[in-house]
Amino acid sequence: MRTTLALKERLPGEWIMLDHFDPVCMSEPSIHRAKELYPPPPGTLSAPFDRWPVANESIDGIFGLLAIHELRTHADRVKWFAEARRVLAPGGRVILIEHVRDAANFIVFGPGFLHFHSIRTWEKSWQEAGFRSTESFRISPWLRVSILTVP
């Protein structure tokens, strides 16, 4: 959420911040620790990952920042992307920033890199929901940005 607040300061406009945390599905101790250390900022809405309280085609940009990998199944990730597609306005974009399962993340996280998804796994999820990647690049050796649009 710290990254979201930093972006919000730099990108003016109306923001809707959603927290998809589900303690039953997201049971790993690390996410519970992170949630305690960095609680959602005021005004954040708690929303299931597959049912957002947002009108159809009403959002110009959606940021998925270092959290969507917590959706552990392919089906759940497809549901998240499908919901993003539902609320995305024509011409809008999804900006996904995530660690990926690759050599660089293995060096840093060791076996913990298995918690992340490969770029092919991500591609399969967003393509199934109707997105295509217009750009993909690293912003560090460990983080990949994927910019998605509806064709």
Reported pTM = 0.92
- Higher-scoring residue by pLDDT: 148, 35: 148
Written in H, E and C, the secondary structure of 53-73 is: CCCCCCEEEEEEECCHHHCCC
The CATH number for 64's domain is 3.40.50.150
- Higher-scoring residue by pLDDT: 85, 36: 85
pLDDT digits (tens, 9 = 90+) for 3-35: 788 888 898 889 999 999 887 777 777 777 887
Distance CA 118, CA 102 (A): 7
Coil vs helix vs strand at 46:
strand
Across residues 38-65, what is the average pLDDT? 94
Distance CA 18, CA 118 (A): 25
| Residue 110 belongs to domain spanning | 2-149
pLDDT digits (tens, 9 = 90+) for 53-110: 999 999 999 999 998 999 989 999 999 999 999 999 999 999 999 999 999 999 999 9
If one counts the domains in the chain, the total is 1
Across residues 130-144, what is the average pLDDT? 96
Whose structure tokens read 């406009």? 13
Does the structure show a pLDDT above 70 at 1?
no
